[in-house]
């Protein structure tokens, strides 16, 4: 399956604790969509969240975010891992 990196832009910053809770909701929801959220990174001060996801499509990854907590990404890119 393809890998995707999504980017969320949250005005006024974001708490890593809130992101961790949203990630747990993603993990609880992902199986219904054949999606696997792998990792995430957070820049609290700038309000940036980056999620790495193994999914059949960008739309499937977005569906998990929407269903789990409603915070869909502002950008989604298909990516390839380098060695």
**DSSP string of 33-83, one letter each residue:** GT-EEEEEEEETTTTEEEEEEE-S-HHHHHHHHHHHTS---SEEEEE----
**Residue spans of the chain under pLDDT 70:** none
CATH T-level topology, domain 3-79: Alpha-Beta Plaits (3.30.70)
Residue 47 is predicted with a pLDDT of: 95
Residue 28 is predicted with a pLDDT of: 97
Residue 14 is predicted with a pLDDT of: 94
């Amino acid at each position: 399956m393809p890998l995707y990196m999504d980017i969320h832009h949250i005005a006024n910053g974001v708490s890593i604790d809130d992101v961790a809770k949203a990630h747990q909701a993603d993990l609880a929801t992902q199986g219904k969509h054949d999606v696997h959220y792998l990792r995430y990174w957070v820049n609290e001060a700038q309000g940036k969240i980056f999620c790495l996801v193994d999914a059949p499509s960008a739309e499937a990854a977005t569906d998990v975010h929407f269903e789990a907590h409603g915070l869909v990404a502002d950008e989604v890119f298909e990516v390839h891992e380098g060695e």
